[in-house]
Structure 1
Amino acid sequence: MTEQASLKQQASALNMYGLLANWPAITDEQLPWLAQWLTWELVERKQRSLQRRLASAKLGRFKTLSEFDWQWPQKIDQQAVQRLMQLEFLSDASNIIFMGGNGVGKSTIAQNLGYQAVMQGYTVLFTLAANMLNELAAQDGDNALRRRLAYYAKPQLLLIDEVGYLSYSNRHADLLFEIINRRYEKNATIVTTNRPFSEWNEVFPNAACVVSLIDRLVHHSEVIAIEGESYRMKEAQEQANKRRGAKKGKAK
């Protein structure tokens, strides 16, 4: 393929129709300048696409895994987490469930996986379980509900954070089942929860769909259990100790 043909192919991939319409007017002397211009355009479009996907993902602020204290949890499979960062579960449309107490790093790991997925070109959405379910339950009319269900079903990776911290009505349980069912074997879902599945009947009291919900969620899934004390409490205690030390130093 000649240089001019290669550049024309790039311009076509970038949908630069005005440039393509005037392609016969391009001279060989202009090709180096054109190559640089197309490179700038491609880099800029990729950067804008990344920024849009990051904004749409709504990941919020989080610590990177390089800052994660792997020695703090009493139980965590670091190798499994590092393997998940390769994102093979996305191509399989598998689910990941992070299960453990408060402050052990479930959300942080999930957010890191979401960020890695965005950087690799996937569409991602992070949401608190309560925010998603309350929003869906508040939709006025079937059309509005269908649009919001489609919104949560569409991303290639959906991260649902903090399932189990609140109790929900049967209506909320049905809506969560609908989301999981729509994504089943199509798109990957990550769920963080502080409750084992045996206690989800307490999260969704009297909901008839709980067994089916768990069944859809755990099929083609990997469960990562994390055990330990809250790292947030550890950090809060360390900060309090520093403040007390600073006050004693001023008092001397």
Structure 2
Amino acid sequence: MTDIHTLERLLRRLRLSRIASEWHSHEKRALAEGWTPSRYLLSLCSEEASHRETERLRRYIKEARLPVGKSVGDYDFKQVPELNAAQIRQLSETTDWVDASENVLLFGASGLGKSHLAAAIVEGVVNQGYRARFYSAGELLQELRKARSLLRLNEVLLKLDRYRVIVIDDLGYVKRDNAETGVLFELIAHRYERGSLIITSNHPFSTWGSIFVDETMAVAAADRLIHHCYLFEIQGESYRKKTSNAVAKKPSK
């Protein structure tokens, strides 16, 4: 076996896949430009590090399961002039709030883009190297209910800690029963000052009694969420309704 074959096998065993595929082209350039051995090694290591970072971000975006086409740039802030667009952009471009385990709460009627904004903020956070996960409220609570029935709820909550940010989308559609609101409270209590939540809901805190069976639990959940949070109450006419009206008004040919 030649030295080249041995080298390539060792690089792959060491999981230096980018160096294994690029070392020869870098070697040619190093010889042509008279690089020192240390510069050649630096070039290879930089290539490997850059490749790993790109792959890591790709994995994070995939596991976040974000809805497609929901970036900050795609949101029409002109339709909701009272919304603090600068603060939304700041949340998507910075991670101080994630490091502080602060929450983002987006309240408003259906069709105002709450899910869009939640996904846009998370996309920005993930692109800065943080793991996150976008859940519909029904999907997440069903998963937690199943875990509780198997006596594995605490284990699942700990596994969710891998995500620095968790989105609970459309919380207003949660069933008002002890099983769902119980695991929802467990999640909120577990994440308190441990990890960030982004929650969208068409129910403001004043009506959370319609979500939680127990009023004391509703107050305790709200208290934990708002202790460290950015609260947005979005007002206006539904985008979907506006689009539907615009289509209806088009003259027929």
SS at match of 1:96: strand
Match of residue 37 from structure 1? 44
Query: 1:80 corresponds to which letter in structure 2?
Result: Q
Greater relative contact order, per chain length (Cα 8 Å cut-off, separation 6+): 1
SS at match of 1:125: strand
1:62 partnered with 2:69: yes
Q: How many Å separate the matches in 2 of 1:235 and 1:147? A: 44
Q: How many Å separate the matches in 1 of 2:202 and 2:223? A: 18
Match of residue 71 from structure 1? 78
TM-score w.r.t. structure 2 length? 0.79
Q: 1:30 deviation in Å?
A: 4.2
Aligned with 2:103 (options 95, 109, 120): 95
Q: Which runs of 5+ in 2 are unaligned?
A: 1-10, 20-34
Q: 1:171 deviation in Å?
A: 1.8
Q: 1:164 deviation in Å?
A: 0.8
Aligned with 1:179 (options 183, 187, 195): 187
Query: Contact conserved, 2:176 with 2:212, CA < 8 A, in 1?
Result: yes
Q: How many Å separate the matches in 1 of 2:95 and 2:171? A: 23
Q: 1:15 deviation in Å?
A: 8.5
1:205 partnered with 2:250: no
Give aligned pairs, total: 223
Match of residue 221 from structure 1? 229
Q: How many Å separate the matches in 2 of 1:125 and 1:87? A: 16
Match of residue 235 from structure 1? 243
TM-score w.r.t. structure 1 length? 0.79
Q: How many Å separate the matches in 2 of 1:68 and 1:109? A: 7
State the identity as a percent: 29
Q: 1:127 deviation in Å?
A: 0.5
Query: 2:60 corresponds to which letter in structure 1?
Result: R
Q: CA RMSD in A?
A: 2.6
Moved over 6 A (4+): none
Q: How many Å separate the matches in 1 of 2:239 and 2:173? A: 17
SS at match of 1:142: coil
Q: 1:166 deviation in Å?
A: 3.5
* Aligned CA distance change for structure 1 residues 166 and 183 (closer, same or farther; 3 Å): closer
Aligned with 1:104 (options 105, 112, 131): 112
Query: 2:54 corresponds to which letter in structure 1?
Result: Q
Q: How many Å separate the matches in 2 of 1:31 and 1:101? A: 60
Q: 1:82 deviation in Å?
A: 2.4
Of the structure 1 ranges 156-165 and 206-215, higher mean CA displacement relative to structure 2 is found in 206-215
Match of residue 134 from structure 1? 142
Q: 1:62 deviation in Å?
A: 3.2
Query: Contact conserved, 2:71 with 2:123, CA < 8 A, in 1?
Result: no
Of the structure 1 ranges 105-114 and 70-79, higher mean CA displacement relative to structure 2 is found in 70-79
Q: How many Å separate the matches in 2 of 1:182 and 1:142? A: 16
Q: How many Å separate the matches in 2 of 1:182 and 1:129? A: 16
1:105-150 deviation line (CA, Å, top 9, x unaligned): 111111111011111111111101111111211234213x333222
Aligned with 2:124 (options 116, 119, 126): 116
Query: Contact conserved, 1:152 with 1:179, CA < 8 A, in 2?
Result: no
Aligned with 1:125 (options 120, 133, 140): 133
Q: How many Å separate the matches in 2 of 1:57 and 1:166? A: 22
Q: 1:227 deviation in Å?
A: 0.2
